[in-house]
Amino acid sequence: MDYINYLAEAVYFFQKFICHVQHEGALQLSTQAFRELKINESIYKATMRILVVNNMIDFDGKSYVLTDEHSIKHKRILEDLNSNNQIKKYEDLYAKSVEEPGFFFDRINDLEYEIYSRCNFSITYESGKEIAKYLDFTDKTVLELGGNSGGLGAAFLSRYEDCSYFVLDTRIPCKIGKEFKELYGTNVSFIEGNVFELEVPSQNYDYILMMNLLHDFDDVRCGEILKNCMKYCNAHTKFVIIEDILKNDYEPKEVILHGLRLAIECMGGKQRTIEEFKEIFLGINYMLEEVIRINEIHTMLVMGGTVI
Ligand SMILES: C[S@@+](CC[C@H](N)C(=O)[O-])C[C@H]1O[C@@H](n2cnc3c(N)ncnc32)[C@H](O)[C@@H]1O
């Protein structure tokens, strides 16, 4: 199986970043230096996180430092890729990140979107069974943004039958979701739409849930999504965010490893720390109420509105 070698990708990307940087001995690069090299911020940050947590570079709080010892380890990884005829794969990935900036879901064709949405149902249904243990949706009205074909919703509804569950997503996931709804008799209501022009049945929702959605967008776009939700919120509405959230810049390591792929697929998208989420939610006067680690990769944040 062609598994993703996250560390090799980060080493390859880093070597591409610095290929024109002159240095003798240890190399020191500030975050400003990356800006001057005009490297996309979410891509270089994800790369550097992977290197730091794997001791392939040091970070002293201001600059990244590549010692001779690190250089030897990088060289070994690149030689391995070369001897296994893997370099082309990494060249292509790097070229894609530079030449095809854009958003994953805009780049895939209808068939790929359909396959993605079919596979997504069972994956989110399985993780949803675990997630549903942590939130009591009895009698609640829930709006899930980017809920794809409704696997998470189906899991919640199998536990809380009387909850009203709405999923907003684009055309293809909603079409596939409706097929699954027929097949399994679940009661998810699908709304075909756009999170940036949010139009949903006009009612106050108890929960607005987003799983693996905000990490696809930069901070400005996330702020837009949250502001669009506000007209459907009352003083009791909670936001629930479930994704690959970081405890801090360099933890947990297993989560950080996926960050570069995410940054490549969704230019501007990025993993965030809990503190960064708090910052984004401050924009709509919401505060962090709960942090729940669901599994090795996913963490759930519950955010509540401040009473003014
Ligand atoms: C990374 S997937 C996450 C899917 C699912 N929630 C999960 O956790 O696996 C992001 C979802 O957001 C949807 N999406 C992306 N941009 C959107 C937009 N502008 N409006 C509505 N849905 C969007 C995609 O179709 C996709 O279903």
* Pocket (CB within 6 angstroms of ligand 1): 105, 120, 124, 146-148, 169-170, 173, 194-196, 211-213, 216
Give residue-wise pLDDT tens across range 40-82. Answer: 889 999 999 999 999 999 998 889 999 999 999 999 999 999 8
Atom of ligand 1 nearest to the CA of 123: 9
Residue 243 CA: nearest ligand 1 atom is 8
Q: How confident is the model at residue 1 (pLDDT cuts 50, 70, 90)?
A: very low
Which atom from ligand 1 is nearest to the alpha carbon of 210? 6
114-167: pLDDT as tens digits: 999 999 999 999 999 999 999 999 999 999 999 999 999 999 999 999 999 999
**Do β-strands 238-243 and 207-211 pair in parallel, antiparallel, or remain unpaired?**
parallel
What does pLDDT average to over the chain? 93
Intervals of CATH 3.40.50.150 along the chain: 108-305
Average pLDDT on 247-270 reads 92
Q: Running DSSP on this structure, what letter comes out for residue 27? A: E
- Domain at 108-305: CATH architecture: 3-Layer(aba) Sandwich (3.40)
Residue 305 has pLDDT above 80, yes or no: yes
If you measure from the C-alpha of residue 108 to the centroid of ligand 1, how many angstroms do you get, rounded to a whole number? 13
CA atoms of 50 and 14, how far apart (whole Å): 10
d(CA 202, CA 184): 27
Task: Report H helices in 54-107.
Answer: 68-83, 87-99, 104-107
Per-residue pLDDT for 184 more than 70?
Answer: yes
User: Cβ neighbours of residue 253 under 8 Å, at least 6 residues apart?
Assistant: 53, 54
Which fold is adopted by the domain 6-101?
A: Arc Repressor Mutant, subunit A (1.10.10)
Query: pLDDT tier at 98 (50, 70, 90 boundaries)?
Result: confident
Higher pLDDT, 96 or 48: 48
For the cut 60, the answer to whether the pLDDT of residue 307 exceeds it is: no
User: Is the pLDDT at 303 greater than 70, yes or no?
Assistant: yes
For residue 2, the model assigns a pLDDT of 55
Please, where in the chain does CATH 1.10.10 lie? 6-101
Give SS3 for 2.
Answer: coil
| Residue 3 pLDDT class (50, 70, 90 cuts) | low
The pTM for the full model equals 0.94
CA of 194 to the centre of ligand 1 (A): 10
